[in-house]
Amino acid sequence: MMLAAVGVGVSHLVYSTQAGADYGLSLLWLIIAVTLIKYPAFRFAVDYANATGESLVRAYGEISKLALVWLMAGFVVDTFIATSAVALVTAGLFINIFDVSYSAPHVAIMITLISAVILMNGQYSKAENIVRFLVAIFSLLTLVALVFAFPSLGSDGRSVFADIDMNMELSLFVIAVAGWMPMPTNGAVLFSKWVCEKRKLNADEFNAETAVRDFKIGYFLTLFLAICFVILGTAVLFETGRSVPVTPPEFASELFSVFTETIGDWSYPIIASAGLAVMWSTLIALMDVMPRLTDRLSGIMTGRAKDLPDRYKLFSAIQVIGIIVILLFLLSSFKAFLYFATSVGLIAAPTIGYYNYKAITSPKIPQKYRPKTSLVIWNWSCIVIMTVFAIGFVYTRIVM
């Protein structure tokens, strides 16, 4: 459930809903395909952590210095740009629920500061149980809404498919979906760290089989919820004259209306609480793990001794300052910023897929943890496809 909480965020609540609202079921195949082609990169991360007891940060250090530099570039994006985007969407939900009069960037900064205080005081473990419960409720209500929404598909003579015209707007949307569905490929490194920490805490109960099982449940739950939101967006918003708004509070209002219009107004308090919890869990997970991984990565790059005290609070403070600067001075448009944040994550995807493959096939990996031929072919297909998407992103930004 925590894996799903981290995965279900901007990609699901924003892009899956928008895919249904703007294009009906025409892009459902894209949501499914992108999620599936990224699977090997994440699976390799789990298998590597199971085989070595180490995260992929160590593996990248053993591959080459270039791999570490590339990973650090991805960490910078996740630490500042991606986390700012998640904070902004979380703020939109918060404003809609509590009807506050402050702007989304200011509320996002407030939520970021509160989250940092919670993490620095070691209270995340207590919040984890609450979030896990709310994610379960969120998933259940999404399923219920889906059941009630099915009769609305194609009602009033509406189509469920759009006439696709590959223009600039659609190209940018497809690239953004490819970058962050179900999450950026850099998230594989977070998965490997999560496996290592879980094994330290629950060595007797959390073995390799359990890690793989939990990963599959979390990963494919994110795919299921993405499909649900595409269908909900199609049933409630497609060809109704309504579109996904471009400001965080208005987007939150439209998102919650998808549920209230299908299963009733009684669901608002529950879905609002659960939806906010899902986004907040994504934010706080990024704010918890990125400073830790950045500290570890910078230590490897500079040769810092492992027995020195960690610098979590230092890197956490740097992250918070960076988020504040982005939200106050570099945010011009909610929609444009989300497109930029999610698209940048796409550039790293092919390289992450390659380096994860190099890590899981290194000589120190026992044979039983090495990937089967089918998974290797699957991963190389992912690398080729994501490279095409990355080239498309660069082309749209430079040429067009």
Instruction: For residue range 186-201, list pLDDT tens digits in order.
Output: 888 888 887 887 777 7
Q: Which of 203, 180, 200, 192 is nearest to 296 (CA)?
A: 192
**What is the CB neighbour count within 10 angstroms for residue 333?**
11
pLDDT confidence bin for 378, thresholds 50/70/90: very high
Enumerate residues 6+ apart whose C-beta is below 8 A from 26.
Answer: 161, 162, 164
- Full-model pTM: 0.86
Residue 363 or residue 284, greater confidence: 363
Share of residues in the chain with pLDDT > 90 (%): 25
Provide the greatest CA pair distance for the chain: 67
Q: What is the mean pLDDT of residues 260-286?
A: 84
pLDDT number for residue 333: 73
pLDDT at residue 244 greater than cutoff 80: no
If you average pLDDT over every residue of the chain, what do you get?
84
pLDDT confidence bin for 3, thresholds 50/70/90: low
pLDDT confidence bin for 129, thresholds 50/70/90: low
pLDDT confidence bin for 112, thresholds 50/70/90: very high
pLDDT at residue 1 greater than cutoff 60: no
pLDDT at residue 2 greater than cutoff 60: no
Distance of CA 130 to the CA centre of its chain: 20
Amino acid at the residue 281: S
pLDDT at residue 47 greater than cutoff 90: yes
pLDDT confidence bin for 301, thresholds 50/70/90: confident
Q: What is the per-residue pLDDT across 173-186, written as a single tens digit (0 to 9) for each? A: 888 888 888 888 88
**What is the CB neighbour count within 10 angstroms for residue 157?**
6
2-398: CATH superfamily? Amino acid/polyamine transporter I (1.20.1740.10)
pLDDT confidence bin for 299, thresholds 50/70/90: confident
Q: What is the mean pLDDT of residues 152-174?
A: 83
pLDDT at residue 260 greater than cutoff 60: yes
pLDDT at residue 124 greater than cutoff 60: no
Angle between helix axes 104-120 and 268-302 (nearest 10 degrees) is 60
Q: What is the mean pLDDT of residues 319-347?
A: 81
Enumerate residues 6+ apart whose C-beta is below 8 A from 389.
Answer: 174, 175, 178, 179, 346, 349
Residue 293 or residue 95, greater confidence: 95
Instruction: Tell me phi and psi for residue 189, to 5 degrees.
Output: -65, -40
pLDDT at residue 377 greater than cutoff 70: yes
pLDDT number for residue 306: 76
pLDDT confidence bin for 262, thresholds 50/70/90: confident
pLDDT at residue 296 greater than cutoff 90: no
pLDDT at residue 156 greater than cutoff 60: yes
pLDDT confidence bin for 369, thresholds 50/70/90: very high
**What is the CB neighbour count within 10 angstroms for residue 124?**
17
Interior CA angle at 184 toward 88 and 28, to 5°?
90
Facing residues of 24 across strands?
A: 161
pLDDT at residue 203 greater than cutoff 80: no
What residue has token string 């901007």? Answer: 10
pLDDT confidence bin for 110, thresholds 50/70/90: very high
- Using a 10 angstrom Cβ sphere, with 0-12 exposed, 13-18 middle and 19 or more buried, the burial of residue 161 is middle
Q: What is the mean pLDDT of residues 9-33?
A: 88
Tokens found for residue 217? 């449940």
